[in-house]
Structure 1
Amino acid sequence: MMLDGIMTDNVVTADAASFLSIANKSRNEIESVKFEPPKIGGKGFGYFRVRMKTRHYEAQ
């Protein structure tokens, strides 16, 4: 089975669980992190915008 991959931007949007996973696996690749708080009346608890030092591939 062959998957197609695309080159993504170096910014990843992640919820808390995904952010912890990224931080544990790729701590040296993180350039900066910004927390985006939730909107009043909206769903969710906010998210993290993680800027990586390099671009990466994602499978489609």
Structure 2
Amino acid sequence: MRSNRGNIFDAYLISGRKSVSAEEYIDIIRSDRDDVKSAKFVPPKIGSEGFGRFDIELTSSTYEVCLDR
């Protein structure tokens, strides 16, 4: 049972694949270049906002912490 005393964070196991923005991709390449197995640029659809995304495959699975609401 969870108590309501402050914020609760949960860690989720993320498979070896991610879809990230260009800014996030650059940060990943700068910090963990060896962990990126492959990357593919996915251009934006005509009329949509943004500049597209990168679908990346990592050599290992990772955990990401999220605020549980």
For the criterion TM > 0.5, the same-fold answer is yes
Which runs of no fewer than 5 residues in structure 1 stay unpaired?
none
Q: Report the number of matched residues.
A: 60
Deviation at residue 8 of structure 1 after TM alignment: 0.8
Amino acid in the other structure paired with 2:11: G
Which residue among 34, 38, 44 is the counterpart of 2:44? 38
Flag the structure with larger Rg: 2
Give the TM-score taking structure 1 as reference length.
0.90
Task: Extract structure 1 runs of 4+ deviating beyond 4 A.
Answer: none
**Uncovered stretches (5+) of structure 2, i.e. residues with no partner:** 1-6
Alignment-derived partner of residue 13 in structure 1: 19
Q: Is structure 2 residue 49 aligned with structure 1 residue 27?
A: no
Q: What letter corresponds to residue 26 of structure 1 in structure 2?
A: D
Match of 1:52 in 2: 58
TM-score, with structure 2 as normaliser? 0.79
Over the aligned positions, Cα root-mean-square deviation in angstroms equals 1.4
Query: 1 or 2, which has the higher strand percentage?
Result: 2
